[in-house]
Amino acid sequence: MARGRSLHIGLNRVDPARYNGWNGKLIACENDARDMDELAGKAGIEERVTLLTAQATVDNVTAELRKAARILAPGDFLFFTYSGHGGQVPDLNGPEDEPDRLDETMCLFDREYIDDELYKEFESFAEGVRILCLLDCCHSGSGIRVREILTPEAMEEQFQTTDPHQVETTSRLMPLDKQAELYERDKEFFDGIQRELNAKDNRELGATALLISACQDNQLAADGLRNGLFTATLLEVWNGGEFTGGYKAFHREILKRMPPTQSPNLFITGRANNRFIRQTPFTV
């Protein structure tokens, strides 16, 4: 019988001492993590970990991922969720890795966590492990401003304001000026991480990783009072387990219910596993 394990991360703020005075205040990310944990439990996943705000450090997240990699065997299931701010840093791996020459990041409590770091952890999982990754954040491209991607009408519909500055504080995107400021301050550190990862053996991903993210790269993910818009819509579609269909149908139904200004993205990488893709979501 397959074994399931889940890790749910939600940050309503970050450590301003590590982010040059920016606290990244959000409202609903901890609720997202709790609700995903509850969903996982009802889906039959017994081994669950939730890291909220100050608990969600790079060391803690890395330790939990490595523990899961040691435990899970072929055919087992990892359910990973993140709700918080997203950001970007310049990509040193060249245009083949990231066409926009930028690496996406998750804003953990003590620093940004580069997507290459997450992928490297996924490489440690046994061949045949199924990984479901849900990211309720956004990584809008460098130089793209709110007023360039949202009309006043779209701002009002998605964020209940026509003030671009207010939108930037209620979306799950690290402000672009803060992204640039932190990279300039920590350039040597982030570049060093990428060089170190590139120098290591790049193994093919033996697991199958299925990622559903809250929006496209040129869009913003909305926070909310109870849940982020993506998480709230996902829970509505799931309907306490009443949803029938595979992951692609699940993604399509979520997409159908989202506003045109926020279109969740589905991405699959690693070992081909059509059986996983066709399974009812969250199946252990």
Active site residues: 85, 138
Question: What are the angstrom distances between the C-alpha of 52 and each of 9, 29, 42, 190, 234?
Answer: 6, 9, 20, 24, 20
CA neighbor of 84 nearest in space, from 206, 165, 14, 172:
172
| Distance in angstroms (rounded) separating the CA atoms of residues 20 and 158 | 29
What sign does the dihedral 18-20-23-29 (CA atoms) show?
negative
Cα 283 from Cα 270, distance rounded (Å): 19
Q: Which two tokens stand for residue 47?
A: 């081994």
Beta bridge partners of 88: 104
Joined together, the tokens standing for residue 238 give 């799931």
How many CB atoms are located within 10 Å of the residue 164 CB? 15
* Segment holding 278, helix H or strand E: helix 274-278
Q: How many CB atoms lie within 10 A of CB 158?
A: 22
User: In the block, which residue shows the tokens 């017994």?
Assistant: 46
Burial class (CB in 10 A: 0-12, 13-18, 19+), 202: exposed
